[in-house]
Amino acid sequence: MSRYLDNRLEEQERKGVEVHLASCGECATRHERMEELRRNLRSLPIVRAPRKLATELQVLASRELVRRRSTSSVAARMQFWAERARLLMDNLMRPLALPAVGGGLTSALFIFGMLMNLGYLRTAANDTPSTLYTEASVVKMAAFTSHTNSSDDTVIEVQIDGRGHMVDYNVLQGQMTGEMGNLLLFATFTPATMFLQPTSGKVVIRRSQIVVKG
Amino acid sequence: MAESLLFEINPESGVESAAGADARLASALRLGSEEAYELLVARFQQPVYNLVYRLMADPGDAYDVVQEVFLKIFRNIGTFRSQSSLKTWIYRIAVNEVHNYRRWFFRHRRQEVVLEDDTEGGKSFGDTVPDRGRSPYDDALNDEKRVLIEDALARINPMFRAAVVLRDIEELSYEEIADVLEISLGTVKSRITRGREAMRRQLEGRLEPEPSFQWDPAAG
């Protein structure tokens, strides 16, 4: 009966079955049920493939193509593995790249800024003190009255501590005299400051020789 | 060169035979034509999915199985010979993959307790291609019938199920089924008959027969 249903019987066999079905109720019913079953099976709707399946299969195809090409020759195989290694390194480093660059750059800028402020900041006279650094300065010093035989200027670098006291001096040019030493001892100084805190610093004092002719 | 193979038409007949088209596609695939791969996926992903879905007792894994099928197709295209059609060759791979999956399942996952999620596991009527000619009433009735038939199909012997699906759903000829299942013609006939019988027994009493209207000329 199954072959009759599928039209797979020879002509003579088919006629024989038709004759039998016309006279046998049980077989006729069975044939009808089988026909109905086939109808039901054929009317089952086509199950729609998920949309992402096509994308997945295309990705699979691409990977397979790459794999095939990479194994086609020794050179292709080496190039494939070199590209895989490069991709792996890129993927490993990418999460660290931005923080590393950003952090490094920020640190460099900060340190550079610190160095710039420490070494080269100068405040003008009567300027509002900077919070970073202010130099030591002379508050009060008596004038020089003696004369020397030398026509050179005298330049003295004085080391000032955090309390504004002279702790050392260095003659950069000319000669130190007794008068100059006394003047330095009794001079008062303002200490240098860093972040508003008193600190040691230096003051350069120059005594110029003025010659008046006539 | 690989791409041009896909579009060559016999200048004498103007129409390319199915076997010729299959051979050209297979050649292009063997040569590594990207276009051929895309064409293969576009042409066969829906029919293969439908076939695998119907062959599996639990269609929830049809998605994964179909991917395995295509992977096998891509890797074994070199073994395709033009003795059979590309379709039957691909269907053969699909049937074998379903069989392999079934063996794997019984070895590794049979003991697991699966919590059914109706929204994901089962297919609703909305996941199928609709028939615009039916009314909602018809759809409701047919939906119930569909569930009964699919349930009966899942319960019969997998060997018979394959034969019934290939014959009554995919409408392959006996010869094509023999090619797909790699069995003799006699075995095909036997499995189809026994498969239909098994389905009939499963549906006995559960599915109301359709009314048959017979014209009685005596009634006037």
Cβ of B45 within 8 Å of Cβ of A43? The answer is no
| B164-174 mean pLDDT | 95
Nearest of B151, B176, B157 to residue B89 by alpha carbon? B176
**A171 in a structural domain:** yes
| pLDDT value at B87 more than 50 | yes
Helix A51-70 crosses helix B62-76 at what angle (to 10 degrees)?
Answer: 30
DSSP bridge pairs for A199: A192
Chain B hits for A59, Cβ within 8 Å: none
Q: Which CATH architecture has domain B132-208?
A: Orthogonal Bundle (1.10)
Size of interface A-B (CB pairs under 8 A): 112
Looking at the predicted complex, does its ipTM rise above 0.85? Answer: no
Cβ of A57 within 8 Å of Cβ of B210? The answer is no
Cβ of B41 within 8 Å of Cβ of A57? The answer is yes
What is the separation of C-alpha B95 from the centre of its chain, rounded to a whole number of angstroms?
Answer: 9
Cβ of A60 within 8 Å of Cβ of B67? The answer is yes
Alpha carbon of B82: minimum distance to chain A alpha carbons (Å): 22
pLDDT band for position B2 (50/70/90)? very low
Q: How far is CA B12 from CA B8, B19, B27, in A?
A: 12, 16, 21
Alpha carbon of A92: minimum distance to chain B alpha carbons (Å): 29
Summary mean pLDDT of chain A:
80
Which pTM does this prediction carry?
A: 0.59
> Are residue A34 and residue A91 in the same domain, yes or no?
no
By the 10 Å C-beta count (0-12 exposed, 13-18 middle, 19+ buried), B86 is classed as buried
Domain end: A89, A107, A125, which one? A107
Per-residue buried b or exposed e for B1-33, using 16+ beta carbons within 10 Å of the residue's own CB: eeeebbeeeeeeeeeeeeeeebbbbbbbbeeeb
- CA–CA separation, A40 vs A53, rounded Å? 28
Greatest Cα-to-Cα distance within chain B, rounded to the nearest angstrom: 71
| pLDDT value at B98 more than 70 | yes
Quote the number of domains for chain A: 3
Chain B hits for A34, Cβ within 8 Å: 196, 200
> Are residue A55 and residue A103 in the same domain, yes or no?
yes
Report yes or no: A47 and B128 within 8 Å, Cβ to Cβ.
yes
Q: A35-42: list long-range contacts, CB under 8 Å, 24+ apart.
A: A35/A5, A36/B209, A36/B210, A37/B168, A37/B196, A37/B199, A37/B200, A37/B203, A38/A5, A38/B168, A38/B196, A40/B145, A40/B149, A40/B207, A41/B149, A41/B153, A41/B164, A41/B168, A41/B169, A41/B199, A42/B168, A42/B169, A42/B171
Does the CB of A25 have a partner CB in chain B at under 8 Å? Answer: no
> Are residue A36 and residue A56 in the same domain, yes or no?
no
**A118 in a structural domain:** no
Cβ of B34 within 8 Å of Cβ of A42? The answer is no
Report yes or no: A209 and A153 within 8 Å, Cβ to Cβ.
yes
What is the separation of C-alpha B83 from the centre of its chain, rounded to a whole number of angstroms?
Answer: 21
pLDDT band for position A88 (50/70/90)? confident
pLDDT band for position B27 (50/70/90)? confident
| B110-132 mean pLDDT | 49
* 3-state SS, residue A97: helix
Cβ of B41 within 8 Å of Cβ of A32? The answer is no
The pLDDT > 90 percentage for chain B reads 42
Does the CB of A59 have a partner CB in chain B at under 8 Å? Answer: no
Best residue of A32, A40, A42, A52 to probe chain B, by most B CBs closer than 10 Å:
A40
pLDDT band for position B143 (50/70/90)? confident
DSSP bridge pairs for A197: A194
**A114 in a structural domain:** no
| pLDDT value at A42 more than 60 | yes
Cα-flanking dihedrals φ and ψ of residue A164, to 5°? 90, 20
A49 vs B40, B46, B153: nearest CB: B46
Nearest of B82, B84, B6 to residue B40 by alpha carbon? B6
Cβ of A56 within 8 Å of Cβ of B209? The answer is no
**A124 in a structural domain:** no
B50 vs A1, A38, A47: nearest CB: A47
Q: Which residues lie below 8 Å from residue B18, measured CB to CB, with a gap of 6+?
A: B85
Best residue of A21, A35, A39, A41 to probe chain B, by most B CBs closer than 10 Å:
A41
Q: Quick one: closest CA in B to A65, which residue? A: B32
Tokens representing residue B212 in the block: 């048959």
**A14 in a structural domain:** yes
Provide the 8-state DSSP code for B168.
I
Does the CB of A53 have a partner CB in chain B at under 8 Å? Answer: yes
Identify the residue with better confidence: B81 or B92: B92
> Are residue A95 and residue A143 in the same domain, yes or no?
no
**A212 in a structural domain:** no
pLDDT digits (tens, 9 = 90+) for B147-165: 899 999 999 999 999 999 9
> Are residue A76 and residue A28 in the same domain, yes or no?
no
Cβ of A45 within 8 Å of Cβ of B130? The answer is yes
Cβ of B129 within 8 Å of Cβ of A48? The answer is yes
Does the CB of A94 have a partner CB in chain B at under 8 Å? Answer: no
* 3-state SS, residue B96: helix
Supply the pLDDT for residue B3: 44
B128 vs A41, A45, A50: nearest CB: A45
Does the CB of B212 have a partner CB in chain A at under 8 Å? Answer: yes
Q: How many residues does chain B have?
A: 220
Three state DSSP letters for B27-85: HHHHCCCHHHHHHHHHHHHHHHHHHHHHHCCCHHHHHHHHHHHHHHHHHHHHHCCCCCC
Around B122, how many Cα atoms within 13 Å sit in the side-chain half-sphere?
A: 12
Amino acid letter for position B86: L
- CA–CA separation, B183 vs A127, rounded Å? 103
**Could you tell me the residue ranges of all domains in chain B?**
1-7+16-108, 132-208
Nearest of A180, A170, A182, A184 to residue A147 by alpha carbon? A180
Tokens representing residue B133 in the block: 């000619």
Q: Which domain holds residue A67?
A: 51-107
| pLDDT value at A129 more than 60 | no
> Are residue A145 and residue A197 in the same domain, yes or no?
yes
Provide the 8-state DSSP code for B219.
G
Give residues 13 to 42 of B whose Cβ lies within 8 Å of A.
32, 34, 37-38, 40-42
**Best CATH choice for the domain B1-7+16-108 from the list 1.10.1740.10, 3.40.50.2300, 2.60.120.260, 3.40.50.300:** 1.10.1740.10
